[in-house]
Each structure stands twice: as C-alpha cells, then as structure tokens.
C-alpha cells in the first residue's frame, strides 16, 4: 500500500504537469497563483506625496516655530504650483508635494491666522518629514509580485495599484463533484426509506474546493446510485470536465463499483489505496477520451471525515500545484500533544481531528471527542489535524506535526 508521502509526490507532479497559463480578470483571480512575474511600470509612489493633512513647507523656513503666509491649497489628484520660499501651502493626505517643498507639518501642529491667509507653525520640521518619497516602495522595472504568488486580497490590491487587469494566471480547471450511494437523500427532502441519510459530502467537497479558489467552476449534478446505469450516466457528465471528484464507491464492498466502471472507461490508475487513517480507500488517475480530452479523477471515501481529510491531503495540494502555487502543501506546524490517555499506534499514518491553541507556553493540540470517520459533528469542532506517523503511539507531551484546517474557530465543545 502506498504511503502518504509517495501519494503526495505523485499528485503534485501530476498537478504541475497539467498547468496552463492565461490572462484572467482580477475579479476571477482570487486564490490563484501568478503565472509570471509582474513588474512595475513606473515608480511608486509616482511622486513625492504628503502622508498627512497639514502644510507643505521648505524645512529651512521652519527650523523653529514661525508664522508664514499661505500660498494655496493642494488636494489629492491635483498638482500644486511651485512653493515660494517663505510660504506654506495647505495640503491633504496623498496630494503631490509641490516643487520647492520638502516637508509637511501636520495640521494639529498649526493654527490658522488672519482668516486663513497665514498659518502659525508651532514646531520645527525636518526635511522629508511626513513625506512619502517617489519610488520608496518600488522603482520602475522592479519585480513587485513574483511568479507563483497566491493572489489573496492584499496581492490583488497591489496588482490593481500596478494597473494590471487582467493578470497572468494559471487556468483553473472545471470540476464536477459527484457523491455516490443508494442510502443518500438530498437535504430538504423527506427521508422515507429505512437506513437512509442526508447527503452531505457534495456540500463539504464543493465548499473545500471554493476555499482554495473562490472563482473555481464547480458543478454538482446530483447523487449517483450504486448501480452501473446510474454511475455511467454521471460519468458521462463528470468526465466531460477537467476534474471529477467522487465520494463513495471506492472501497471493497459488493456495491463499490466506481473503480471498476472507471477502469472500463480506460482509467489510468496512479493511486488506489493510501496507508492513512481516515481515508485508506482513495483512487487517483486520468481518463483520456478518444477525442483527446483528459479528465483527472479523484475517488474519495464515502464517510464524511474521510472525504474531508483526503480532500485536504490530496485534492487541495493537487489543485494548488495545478494553479502554480509555490507552497501547495499548506501550513504544517509542530505542537505539543495533550491527551488524557495515549492514542494507540496503528500501521497507518493517523490524522486526528483536534483543536490547536497557541499560548504563552507555545502551541498545543488536543484531539476532539470524535467517533470515527462518519462523525462530522466531531470534525466540526476541530481546527487542525494532529499527525501520528504509522506505528507511533501518541503520548501526552509528545511533539507532533499539525495540519491547520482553513476554519480557525471551533464549534462549542460537545460537553458544554
């Protein structure tokens, strides 16, 4: 059986190989990575500008408190006339410093006199005080945002400030999510058959994908049933996408037909099982149609926690690698394990839903009360996964790796 590390190496290499670059509108770029360096087309700031509301002066004229005539007013978006020595110009934050001025005294250190024709400057000012110098942030030609940078809110704003729209980005794949199972009922419908449960994996997986790339095109086409006709009908739709993410039907049961039917359609299997808990049944590969279209397939376990964990461990890194991220594996930190009793060792790498806290004594991680891979309520308490390598006992005080989940605030404790 393949280890987690072996599986991740295969998945990341596959994601990198599938990258395609294009120009993407800023409004669709959040969560994606830049496909090329972005350089400055001009200095920034593009001119010396005031960082305060106040009065622009020549510092030599205000070596000590003084009174000067006011020569004019300058607001953001306008260029002021050259400042004559021995005068001051009222200036607003962000406005260009007029030629002849080299400092700004804040308005709170001044007082208007003679109906505003003069100003009392109540303290001395030094050259370039309260002034943002031209080019101090970056110079024309500087690489401001590097290839591979994930475009979050500050980066998108920076690109907008550079005047870039659209931006060079790696093309996001079209994804189809299909939960499978005879027992599943859509939320909102009435449960009438014994043994039925509401379907939650579609919502879970779509939400996890959109956490990576909010503009990702994710299609959900319903629930596939555990029979050839239903599964093949859903495959007809799903395999027309760039990525098909399935949950359920990939284990060893009599009705686990997903892998069987996909192989009949030519699935090139790269991964079929991974030595982890939860999430051992895991299918990954490509289906290449006769017209050359390639669909990447992820077959995730049907239990919700297993689906969630395999999405975090495998699908998210693949997607980030496909989108050009330089750090597709996300954030892992070390923390001290806090348990009342030891977590027993098993011959698989364990990923235990847990609560990560950082305090004066450093980071600690405590497993939530969790009843196994079907317990979404337990998972909803967690903001992290504590990782125990295969064959490792988890003792109180051990230092373990922790994978942080996107949601940071856990739900109230089950016992509260």
Q: Does residue 338 sit in the same domain as residue 201? A: no
What CATH number is attached to the domain comprising 250? 3.40.980.10
In a domain, 26, yes or no: no
Q: Does residue 253 sit in the same domain as residue 192? A: yes
CB neighbourhood size of 128 (10 A): 15
Q: Does residue 125 sit in the same domain as residue 178? A: no
In a domain, 290, yes or no: yes
Q: Does residue 312 sit in the same domain as residue 199? A: yes
Q: Does residue 283 sit in the same domain as residue 369? A: no
Find the domain containing 358 and state its range.
332-404
In a domain, 291, yes or no: yes
CB neighbourhood size of 134 (10 A): 17
Per-residue model confidence as pLDDT tens for the chain (416 residues): 899 999 999 999 999 999 999 999 999 898 888 999 999 999 999 999 999 999 999 999 999 999 999 999 999 999 889 999 999 999 999 999 999 999 999 999 999 999 999 999 999 999 999 999 999 999 999 999 999 898 999 999 999 999 999 999 998 999 999 999 999 999 999 988 889 999 999 999 999 999 988 889 999 999 999 999 999 999 999 999 999 999 998 987 777 899 999 999 999 999 999 999 999 999 999 999 989 999 999 999 999 999 999 999 999 999 999 998 888 987 789 999 999 999 999 999 999 999 999 888 899 999 998 888 888 888 888 999 999 999 999 999 999 999 998 765 444 444 43
Q: Does residue 73 sit in the same domain as residue 11? A: no
In a domain, 357, yes or no: yes
Q: Does residue 195 sit in the same domain as residue 311? A: yes
pLDDT at 408: 52
Query: Which alpha helices (H) appear in 276-343, and where do they start and end?
Result: 304-310, 316-322
In a domain, 234, yes or no: yes
For the chain, what is the total number of helices (H) and then of strands (E)?
A: 8, 26
In a domain, 212, yes or no: yes
Q: Does residue 280 sit in the same domain as residue 201? A: yes
pLDDT at 403: 94
Distance separating alpha carbons of residues 298 and 268, to the nearest angstrom: 12
Decide if 105 contacts 59 (C-beta within 8 A).
no
Distance separating alpha carbons of residues 282 and 272, to the nearest angstrom: 5
What CATH number is attached to the domain comprising 369? 2.40.340.10
Provide the terminal-to-terminal Cα distance of the chain, rounded to the nearest Å.
Answer: 41
The total number of structural domains that make up the chain: 3
pLDDT at 407: 62
pTM of this prediction? 0.82
Q: Does residue 309 sit in the same domain as residue 399? A: no
Domain boundary among 73, 105, 132: 132
Decide if 242 contacts 295 (C-beta within 8 A).
yes
Beta strands at 167-170 and 21-24: parallel, antiparallel or unpaired? antiparallel
Assigned token pair, 367: 């497993």
In a domain, 27, yes or no: no
Q: Does residue 214 sit in the same domain as residue 107? A: no
In a domain, 39, yes or no: no
Q: Does residue 188 sit in the same domain as residue 316? A: yes
Degrees to nearest 5, angle at CA 32 with 27 and 35:
105
What CATH number is attached to the domain comprising 84? 2.170.190.11
Q: Does residue 177 sit in the same domain as residue 317? A: yes
pLDDT at 413: 46
């Amino acid at each position: 059986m393949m280890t987690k590390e072996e599986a991740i190496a295969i998945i990341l290499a596959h994601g990198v190989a599938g990258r395609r670059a294009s120009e993407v509108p800023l409004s669709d770029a959040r969560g994606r990575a830049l496909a090329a360096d972005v350089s400055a087309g001009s200095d920034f700031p593009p001119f010396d500008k005031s960082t305060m509301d106040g009065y622009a002066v020549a510092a030599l004229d205000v070596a000590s408190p003084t009174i000067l005539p006011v020569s004019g007013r300058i607001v953001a978006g306008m260029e002021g006339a050259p400042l004559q020595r021995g005068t001051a110009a009222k200036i607003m934050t962000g406005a260009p410093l007029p030629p002849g001025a080299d400092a700004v005294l804040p308005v709170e250190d001044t007082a208007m006199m003679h109906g505003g024709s003069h100003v009392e400057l109540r303290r001395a000012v030094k050259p370039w005080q309260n002034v943002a110098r031209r080019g101090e942030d970056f110079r024309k030609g500087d690489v401001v945002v590097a290839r591979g940078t994930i475009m979050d809110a500050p980066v998108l704003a920076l690109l907008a400030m550079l005047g870039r729209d659209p931006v060079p980005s790696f093309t996001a794949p079209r994804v189809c999510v299909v939960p499978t199972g005879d027992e599943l009922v859509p939320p909102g419908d009435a449960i009438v058959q014994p043994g039925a449960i509401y379907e939650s994996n579609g919502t879970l997986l779509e939400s996890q994908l959109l956490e990576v790339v909010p503009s990702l095109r994710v299609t959900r086409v319903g629930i596939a049933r555990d029979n050839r006709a239903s599964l093949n009908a859903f495959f007809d739709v799903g395999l027309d996408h760039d990525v098909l993410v399935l949950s359920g039907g990939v284990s060893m049961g009599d009705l686990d037909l997903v892998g069987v039917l996909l192989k009949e359609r030519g699935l090139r299997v790269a991964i079929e099982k991974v030595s982890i808990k939860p999430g051992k049944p895991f299918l990954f590969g490509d289906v290449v149609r006769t017209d050359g279209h390639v669909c990447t397939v992820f077959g995730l376990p049907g239990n919700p926690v297993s689906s969630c964990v395999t999405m975090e461990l495998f699908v998210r890194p693949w997607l980030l690698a496909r989108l050009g991220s330089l750090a597709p594996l996300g954030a892992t930190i070390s923390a001290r394990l806090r348990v009342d009793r030891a977590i027993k060792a098993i011959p698989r790498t364990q990923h235990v839903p847990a609560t990560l806290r950082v305090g004066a004594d450093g980071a600690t991680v405590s497993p939530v009360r969790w009843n196994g891979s079907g317990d979404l309520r337990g998972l909803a308490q967690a903001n992290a996964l504590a990782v125990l390598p295969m064959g490792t006992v988890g003792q109180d005080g051990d230092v373990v790796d922790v994978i942080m989940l996107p949601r940071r605030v856990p739900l109230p404790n089950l016992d509260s």
